[in-house]
Amino acid sequence: MIKENRVSKYVLYAIGEIVLVVIGILIALQINNWNEERALQGKVDSIYSIVKDDLRSDIERIDEVIAQMSPDDSILVRIMEGNMTREDYRNCDRCEFVVTGYPDITLKSRGLTLLEENSTIFDLDKDSLFIRLNEFYSFFSTEILVDLDEIEMDYYDNWGHFKSTKSWFPDHVKNIRNEDFVEYALTSSDYQNRVASWHRLFFENYLGHLKDYKQEALVLIKDLDKRAS
């Protein structure tokens, strides 16, 4: 009985040791999982910070494009409505160039690219903010690219037409005012048609999408800030 008592105590002691070891292992594994989750979350937060920088940079560029091109809007409208006089054209430095020049924009997407590359690791497919960003970039990247393609085609059509058919083209290239251009702009429906096409493609489509992009980007930046806080 003495021997059996000793054995039972030993067995209980051994079981206790095993239980303690198992508990220690489980705690270590849990701590390791927590550390890995924190590390992954830190990486996600870092990438979202890059996304915010991308959005802010895009907004700055959009503001520059809008500020640069806004003066042309009123000129185009006056031309389309036939409210420009000969003297107006003579004093209009931009009239010869409103359909043959434009600033483009390349949206930054390095943050989104990093998110997409790590979406499986971060399990972002269920992240509502990641889904919104994906949809946001997918829509605007497509729309703005289409806008720029159409503007580019219109630009080359206008440039080629003026180059091959207009006597005032050499002066146009040298930024020299030419009376033949003034006469063309005053009397030709071709010019009004080209102006109307340019206005729709640039000011209604392209700038319209850029302004919408800016508004939605500002909302996303606020939501990214809330997530980080």
Per DSSP, the three-state class of 1 is: coil
The alpha carbon of 34 is separated from its chain's Cα centroid by a whole number of angstroms, namely 35
> CA-CA distance, 52 to 70, in Å (whole number)?
26
pTM for the model stands at 0.79
| Contact indicator for 58, 109 with CB cutoff of 8 Å | no
Mean pLDDT within 131-157: 93
Say what the pLDDT of residue 1 is. 44
Every domain of the chain and the residues it spans: 54-228
| DSSP track, 63-113 | HHHHHHHHHHHHHHHHHHTT---HHHHHT-SSTTTTTS---------HHHH
Residue 145: the pLDDT is 92
**pLDDT single digits (tens) 203-223:** 999 999 999 999 999 999 999
What is the rounded CA–CA span in Å between residue 113 and residue 101?
31
Q: What is the pLDDT of residues 185-208, one digit of tens each?
A: 999 999 999 999 999 999 999 999
pLDDT band at 161 (very low <50, low <70, confident <90, very high): very high
Average pLDDT, the chain: 85
What does the pLDDT look like over 70-125, one tens digit per residue? 888 999 999 999 999 999 998 888 887 888 888 888 888 888 888 888 777 666 66
